[in-house]
């Protein structure tokens, strides 16, 4: 079973995530000059995150989203027990949000 997981991870999951990221990233870059950021996010980041979770077999159940009030500001904290926090926040939170990062990360060209 461990061998199957390893093979699936590297031969299926990683290539699918890479292709999905490249395609939807390109669509995002094309749409940014023409649409508001929150709309571009809904059109690209949400499907990207949901597809990545689908590829991995992760099912998400969200509880308490009904307590979020439109127009209200919130601080959302992810504990990063895994890298799947990013997929879950984008794919299933249902609100437009921004990331906060420490200053040193700005020196990394990819981020």
Locate 29 and state its tokens. 């870059």
Other CB atoms within 10 A of residue 50 CB: 16
Helix-helix angle 46-56:14-31, to 10 degrees: 170
Q: What is the pLDDT of residue 57?
A: 93
CB 90 within 8 A of CB 46: yes
Which whole number is the average pLDDT over 65-86? 87
Q: Are 64 and 21 in contact (CB under 8 A)?
A: no
- H-run or E-run covering 8: helix 2-8
38, 60, 37: which is closest to 49 by C-alpha? 60
> What predicted TM-score, i.e. pTM, was given to this entire model?
0.86
More confident residue, 66 or 23: 23
- Residue-averaged pLDDT of the chain: 91
């Amino acid at each position: 079973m461990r061998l199957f997981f390893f093979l699936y991870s590297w031969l299926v999951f990683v290539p699918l995530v890479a292709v999905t990221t490249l395609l939807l990233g390109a669509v995002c870059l094309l749409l940014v000059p023409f649409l508001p950021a929150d709309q571009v996010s809904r059109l690209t980041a949400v499907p990207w995150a949901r597809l990545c979770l689908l590829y991995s077999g992760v099912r998400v159940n969200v509880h308490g989203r009904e307590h979020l009030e439109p127009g209200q500001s919130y601080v959302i904290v992810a504990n990063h027990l895994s890298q799947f926090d990013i997929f879950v926040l984008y794919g299933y939170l249902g609100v437009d949000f921004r990331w906060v990062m420490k200053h040193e990360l700005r020196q990394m060209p990819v981020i």
